[in-house]
Structure formats: structure tokens, C-alpha cells
């Protein structure tokens, strides 16, 4: 999960959108091959799609979507997917584990359309993006067919208007019957986006069937995780198995954490200072392994939790603690650092830079601890020391 947003599964997104009037194919979620077959029998018909439920696009190309004509094929497809790691062009080489599949009634369609709603932070508006080239990633469409991308920026005072949705639908080449149904789906998507604090709704593809129905064949939704306190139903849809386990662990301790690809672990108080610390590490020739803001109340317990979190990343070869204490106190942080070093296996070089409230007392605790902690007076000095230490440190093992 990226910082600031919560993703949900396709079947959850479709359930939400259906409640806002968006037409979707009939389907059901299954957690075992037998349950998948039962879902197919309940749905009826003789054609079904078995879809792996992971937080990623590109599932079809990776074998995560299979069309089936018999119950045995449904069972085999579900068995092939469940419990396996699916690697797509969006998951990275580590992939994501499939713990549930979605069984959907499959029927032929004539056309595929791309439809997306995103929060454009630059203009502080919801931007709608549509294209007659559905089934492709929006980046591919923009690159190969830029002239086919239609856009509408919604005025928040009045919301998406029916005439704007109709204009989009006609621009996509739909006929009169199809336009009215597409407009219903567009207005439903916008209401879901607005009413549930979403940051993205993507239907790719939105398909047109032979009898002029317009169905959301796939759906993705993301939500602002800062608004989850008022969206308990959305929060309950969170699937921790699809998230970085380090970020899940951080959330349990109210730590703001984002894993990165470098080798210098960062423990910092304040988001702005954390960004500046990462910048300084890059300027010194290194690469941060994470963004970690321990917040204003960096108690010894929270600092120790931050150390456990950073050390769980096998790529970390050095740790930089950078604290500018205002509401916080340097002696509290120093106690947390010493406590962590004594109770945890901190087997990497540790660089500490303290400044602000009770700075002298904090430095004294560090010096008197007798631990091999490198102290730095400035952030630039700390970053240079961390980069040098990481460059000399051997590869780590978590065993």
C-alpha cells in the first residue's frame, strides 16, 4: 500500500459501485476450489471467469484470470490460483499471494472502454479520464493513442452533471441506448468517489454487450486512509496480506512508515524532517531504506518499536536517528535508543543526531551508555557518517 491510500479488491469495489447504480456482472467470492464450484452453480450459465483477487492490475497477462466452460475447469482454475504467488507487471518480482478468487458470470461483449476517476491534487478537483481503448493500461493509451483520451474536470460545487457524462459517452462513440446506461455508471462512480473519500476509481474495461448493456467488467478503488476514521465499512475491507508487512507493523504502533529500496534505515520525528533526512542521505551519495516518522510523542517504547521495524528489513546496513525535539525531548529519545540497543540485536552501525529540547541530557545518555553509537552535530554530518558506515558494512541475515 502506498502512503496515504487504502486499496481494496475487485469484488469489494464492484459491491460498492453496484450500490451506487453501476451495473456489474453477477459474481461471488470463493476461498477454496469447492467453494468456487458452488459459486458457479449458484450463478448458473455455462461460462464463468475465475479471477485472482490481489491488489494489482495486469492479472490477466500473468494468468490470474481464466475463462471456464465446465465446473471442473472452474475447480482447476481456482486450485491453480489459490495459495500461489502471482507476479504481475505491477507487483514487482516478489508478487502477491492469492487468498481468494472471484467467480463471475461471463458473457460476450462488443466493446471495451476505459473509465477512470482520479483526484488531481494540482487543480484540487476530480478528473475523469475516458478512452475507447479499454483493456489497456492508461499509460499505454496515453503513449500510443493520446488523441483518444477524453477528460472532464469536475466542479466540486455542483458535482458531475448529466450533460458532462453524456458528452463523454457520445465522445466514446456510444449509441443512444448505450449512452443512457453509461451516464448512469459515470454518475454512480462519481457519487461513490465523492461520498466515500476515494482517491481513485478505475473501471477497465467498461464493456458494451450485444444487447446494449454497459457493465463494469473490472473495477479498482483506492481510498484516503486519513478519512478511514469515518469510513468504518471501508476500513473493514482492508486486506493486510496484500500490504507490506512492515507497513502493517508500523500501523500497529502508530508509526508513519513507507518502505524504500535503499540500505540506510531512518528513524526521524516529523514528516518534514524525515523528507529532509532522506534528501540529505541522497545528497551524500547513499539511499534511504525507508521513510519513518515516529511522531511528536516519541517515547522509549515507540523508539524501540521503530528500531524493530527498521531492523526487519534485511537490506538495512546502517541506521540514522535524527531528532529535532520541540514537544518531544531528546533525553526520552536517547533513552529509547539505548534501550533498543540493549534489548534488540542492533547489528548495524548506528548514527544519532539530536537537537532541541534537553539536547545536552540526551547526548550525555548516549555517551554514558558505553555503546558504539556514532554521534553527529549536524544532519549533513550524520548523513555522511551513515553513508560511509553503510558502504563498509557487510550484508545482513535475519536468521
2 in active site? no
66 and 152 housed in the same domain: no
151 and 7 housed in the same domain: yes
For residue 398, being part of any structural domain is answered with no
Question: Would you list which residues are annotated within the binding site for Mg(2+)?
Answer: 204, 218
Cα–Cα dist 371/387, whole Å: 20
CATH number of the domain encompassing residue 262: 3.40.50.261
56 and 181 housed in the same domain: no
268 and 346 housed in the same domain: yes
Flag the least confident range among 96-110, 153-167, 294-308, 316-330: 294-308
Among 75, 1, 16, 387, CA closest to 225: 1
Entry pTM: 0.74
Which of 106, 130, 148 represents a domain boundary (last residue)?
106
CATH number of the domain encompassing residue 121: 3.30.470.20
In the prediction, which pLDDT does 399 show? 52
Active-site residue, from 202, 247, 257, 335:
202
Q: What is the per-residue pLDDT across 59-97, written as a single tens digit (0 to 9) for each? A: 888 889 999 999 999 999 999 999 998 888 887 788 889
What is the pairing mode between strands 198-209 and 109-120?
Answer: antiparallel
Which of 77, 106, 135 represents a domain boundary (last residue)?
106
10 and 38 housed in the same domain: no
Question: Would you list which residues are annotated within the binding site for substrate?
Answer: 269
In the prediction, which pLDDT does 101 show? 96
209 and 346 housed in the same domain: no
44 and 157 housed in the same domain: no
Flag the least confident range among 58-67, 202-211, 338-347: 338-347
Active-site residue, from 10, 11, 102, 114:
114
CATH number of the domain encompassing residue 92: 3.30.1490.20
19 and 33 housed in the same domain: no
For residue 399, being part of any structural domain is answered with no
CB neighbour list of residue 6: distance below 8 Å, 6 or more residues apart = 222, 223, 224, 225, 228, 234, 235, 237, 238
For residue 294, being part of any structural domain is answered with yes
3 in active site? no
For residue 48, being part of any structural domain is answered with yes
What is the rounded average pLDDT for all residues in the chain?
89
Which domain, by its residues, includes 281?
Answer: 245-392
For residue 295, being part of any structural domain is answered with yes
Q: Are 273 and 306 in contact (CB under 8 A)?
A: no
Number of independent structural domains in the chain: 3
Question: Would you list which residues are annotated within the binding site?
Answer: 51, 58-60, 104, 107, 112, 204, 218, 269
91 and 164 housed in the same domain: no
In the prediction, which pLDDT does 76 show? 96
For residue 397, being part of any structural domain is answered with no
194 and 307 housed in the same domain: no
Which of 218, 242, 266 represents a domain boundary (last residue)?
242
Buried b (16+ CB within 10 A) or exposed e, 184-200: bbbbbbbbbbbebbbbe
CB neighbour list of residue 156: distance below 8 Å, 6 or more residues apart = 125, 126
10 and 33 housed in the same domain: no
296 and 147 housed in the same domain: no
Place of cell 535524527: 322
Amino acid at each position: 500500500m502506498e502512503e496515504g491510500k487504502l486499496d481494496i479488491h475487485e469484488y469489494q469495489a464492484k459491491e460498492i459501485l453496484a450500490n451506487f447504480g453501476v451495473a456489474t456482472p453477477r459474481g461471488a467470492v470463493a476461498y477454496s476450489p469447492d467453494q468456487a464450484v458452488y459459486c458457479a452453480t449458484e450463478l448458473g450459465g455455462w461460462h464463468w471467469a475465475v479471477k485472482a483477487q490481489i491488489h494489482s492490475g495486469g492479472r490477466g497477462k500473468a494468468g490470474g484470470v481464466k475463462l471456464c466452460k465446465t465446473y471442473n475447469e472452474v475447480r482447476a482454475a481456482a486450485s491453480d490460483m489459490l495459495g500461489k504467488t502471482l507476479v504481475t507487471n505491477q507487483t514487482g518480482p516478489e508478487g502477491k499471494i492469492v487468498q481468494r478468487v472471484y467467480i463471475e458470470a461471463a458473457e460476450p461483449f462488443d466493446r471495451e472502454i476505459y473509465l477512470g476517476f482520479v483526484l488531481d491534487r494540482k487543480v484540487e478537483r476530480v478528473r475523469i479520464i475516458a478512452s475507447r481503448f479499454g483493456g489497456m493500461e492508461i499509460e499505454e493509451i496515453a503513449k500510443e493513442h493520446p488523441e483518444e483520451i477524453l477528460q472532464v474536470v469536475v466542479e466540486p460545487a455542483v458535482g458531475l452533471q448529466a450533460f458532462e457524462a453524456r458528452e463523454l459517452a457520445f465522445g466514446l462513440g456510444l449509441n443512444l441506448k448505450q449512452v443512457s446506461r453509461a451516464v448512469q455508471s459515470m454518475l454512480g462512480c462519481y457519487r461513490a468517489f465523492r461520498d466515500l473519500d476515494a482517491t481513485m476509481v478505475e473501471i477497465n474495461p467498461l464493456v458494451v454487450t450485444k444487447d446494449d448493456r454497459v457493465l463494469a467488467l473490472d473495477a479498482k478503488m483506492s481510498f484516503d486512509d486519513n478519512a478511514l476514521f469515518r469510513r468504518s465499512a471501508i476500513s473493514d475491507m482492508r486486506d493486510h496480506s496484500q500490504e507490506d508487512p512492515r507497513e502493517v507493523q508500523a500501523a500497529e504502533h502508530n508509526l508513519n512508515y513507507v518502505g524504500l529500496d535503499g540500505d540506510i534505515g531512518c528513524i526521524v520525528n516529523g514528516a518534514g524532517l524525515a523528507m529532509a533526512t532522506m534528501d540529505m542521505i541522497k545528497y551524500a551519495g547513499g539511499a534511504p531504506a525507508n521513510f519513518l516518522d515516529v511522531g511528536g510523542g516519541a517515547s522509549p517504547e515507540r523508539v524501540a518499536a521503530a528500531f524493530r521495524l527498521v531492523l526487519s528489513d534485511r537490506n538495512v546496513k546502517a541506521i540514522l536517528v535524527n531528532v529535532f525535539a520541540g514537544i518531544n525531548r531528546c533525553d526520552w529519545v536517547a533513552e529509547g535508543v539505548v534501550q533498543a540497543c540493549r534489548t534488540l540485536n542492533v547489528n548495524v552501525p548506528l548514527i544519532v543526531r539530536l537537537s532541541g529540547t534537553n539536547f545536552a541530557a540526551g547526548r550525555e545518555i548516549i555517551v554514558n551508555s558505553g555503546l558504539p553509537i556514532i554521534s553527529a552535530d549536524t544532519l549533513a554530518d550524520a548523513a555522511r557518517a551513515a553513508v560511509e558506515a553503510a558502504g563498509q558494512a557487510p550484508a545482513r541475515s535475519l536468521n
